[in-house]
Amino acid sequence: MLGGLLDKVAGIGGAMRRGSTLGVDIGTGAIRIVELSGKQSAPTLVNYGTLTRSVALLAMHDPAKTADSDKVESQVADHIRDLLRAMGTSQRRAVMLLPSAVATFKLLSFPKMKNADLHEAVLYQAERLVSLPLAEVVLDWEVVGQSDGDEEHPPAMDVLVAVVPREVVDRYVRIAKRSALNLAALEAEPFSLVRTANRLAQEKIYAVLDFGAYRSTLVIAEHGKVHQVTPIELTGSKLTVALAKSLVVDEARAEEMKQQYGLTSSGGTDLGRTLGPFLDGMVGEIRSGFNEFVTRTNNVVEALYLCGGGARLHGLDTYIARQFEVAITPLAALRNVQVPSAIEPHTSDVGVAYAAAIGLALRHSSEGRRHK
């Protein structure tokens, strides 16, 4: 029925699904759904599934395809229903991801004030962040830091603001409705990534590199709060295209070789030399993001966690680690998550690829974290 789209699906019986939540990540390269039950402090993986290789997913994130938006939304909703059916889950309560690429993020500073006054101040400043009227956007903000001030500086608050065009939000709401999902929330991607990382990170200041097939993002968090969001130019698909051109093979073969060999030298094949210059460009972008954070806060990033489908590239963590004096670690999102024995044999590559979806599913036990 899925025409080869379904890559991976696993699940257990319905007995554990009471009170569970779906995290739905509609990416450009894949739809990933995770079902978690239990409290955020001790969640259990109930189910997960991936659906890939769909032209509808590419079209959904292509601004030039707006004329076919109704058709594209219908196809994406069909994919979600098919994936849920293949997973065998009856749960429909869901939190859905808003990709970083559709949002504008800005860190603003304000004098200390009450939340009601702060909300008005954020609205006033937000008008300068986007070209659209405020009536045409959805605004999300969070206080990420506070200072007591001194003789020269009054007490202040740092607020991270996320602004998303309302038409984008409406598109995801329509897809959820067409998919028969009970949409509990929409959440911008950096917040879900940091929610996942916070359960694992020992550092006060860390970064998450979400290295995706068609989009990549660097998120820097301090004390469990998102402080900086930086788009990264390099993606997994661009690496595949570069490899195909260099080796004079088609992209399907290049992707196969990339997955098989990674950046290590094996059997006379050394893709690291071919891909190195492109990865060096990404390293430069990461370094620029780190430097921007240091300049603004006078603090340094202590660790970098890797996630996203591209993070499964063998040897990527080692390659990046040579360039920085911080710990580089794959974001093992399933660590500290209970995994039933029926699913455990299938979860070897779930962690880094499902980091955002897991963060979404964890949201159901969060309480009043942000204001809209």
Rounded Cα distance between 197 and 358, Å, is 10
Band (pLDDT 50/70/90 cuts) for residue 250 is very high
* Both structure tokens of 98: 């808003």
What integer is the mean pLDDT of 289-294? 95
Band (pLDDT 50/70/90 cuts) for residue 55 is confident
Residue 10: its pLDDT value, please?
66
Percent of the chain clearing pLDDT 70 (strictly above) = 89
Rounded Cα distance between 370 and 333, Å, is 23
Query: Locate tokens 């509609």: which residue?
Result: 26
What integer is the mean pLDDT of 323-337? 89
Residue 11: its pLDDT value, please?
58
Grouping H, G, I as helix, E, B as strand and the rest as coil, residue 37 is strand
Band (pLDDT 50/70/90 cuts) for residue 277 is very high
Is the pLDDT assigned to residue 238 strictly greater than 80?
yes
Mean pLDDT of the chain: 86
Residue 15: its pLDDT value, please?
40
- Which residues, other chains included, contact 163 with Cβ-Cβ below 8 Å and sequence gap of 6+? 103, 104, 106, 126, 129, 130, 137, 138, 139, 140
Query: Do the domains 1-98+164-200+337-372 and 102-163 sit in the same CATH topology, yes or no?
Result: no
What integer is the mean pLDDT of 178-185? 94
- Where exactly are the structural domains of the chain? 1-98+164-200+337-372, 102-163, 201-331
Fold of domain 1-98+164-200+337-372: Nucleotidyltransferase; domain 5 (3.30.420)
Is the pLDDT assigned to residue 16 strictly greater than 50?
no
Residue 13: its pLDDT value, please?
44
Band (pLDDT 50/70/90 cuts) for residue 18 is low
Residue 25: its pLDDT value, please?
96
Q: Which long-range contacts (CB under 8 A, 24 or more apart) does 324-327 make?
A: 324/283, 324/286, 324/287, 324/290, 326/301, 326/302, 327/203, 327/302, 327/303
Is the pLDDT assigned to residue 227 strictly greater than 50?
yes
Is the pLDDT assigned to residue 258 strictly greater than 60?
yes
Task: Give me the phi and psi of 97, to 5 degrees please.
Answer: -85, 135
What integer is the mean pLDDT of 125-147? 83
* 102-163: CATH number: 3.30.1490
Report whether 175 contacts 185 (CB < 8 A). no
Is the pLDDT assigned to residue 309 strictly greater than 90?
no
Is the pLDDT assigned to residue 34 strictly greater than 60?
yes
Report strand pairing: 93-98 vs 182-188: parallel
Lowest mean pLDDT among 127-136, 270-279, 299-308, 355-364: 127-136
pLDDT digits (tens, 9 = 90+) for 60-97: 887 666 657 899 999 999 999 999 999 999 999 999 99
What integer is the mean pLDDT of 21-33? 92
More confident call, 13 vs 107: 107
Residue 5: its pLDDT value, please?
54
What integer is the mean pLDDT of 303-324? 91
Query: Locate tokens 């699906």: which residue?
Result: 9
Beta bridge partners of 107: 160
Fold of domain 201-331: Nucleotidyltransferase; domain 5 (3.30.420)
Band (pLDDT 50/70/90 cuts) for residue 4 is very low
Separation in Å, CA 242 to CA 212, 232, 238, 271, 287: 16, 17, 6, 11, 22
- Which residues, other chains included, contact 336 with Cβ-Cβ below 8 Å and sequence gap of 6+? 199, 200
Grouping H, G, I as helix, E, B as strand and the rest as coil, residue 150 is coil
* Both structure tokens of 184: 């509990």
Residue 65: its pLDDT value, please?
63
Residue 195: its pLDDT value, please?
93
* Alpha carbon 274 to chain centroid, angstroms: 27
Give the highest mean pLDDT range of 154-158, 302-306, 310-314. 302-306
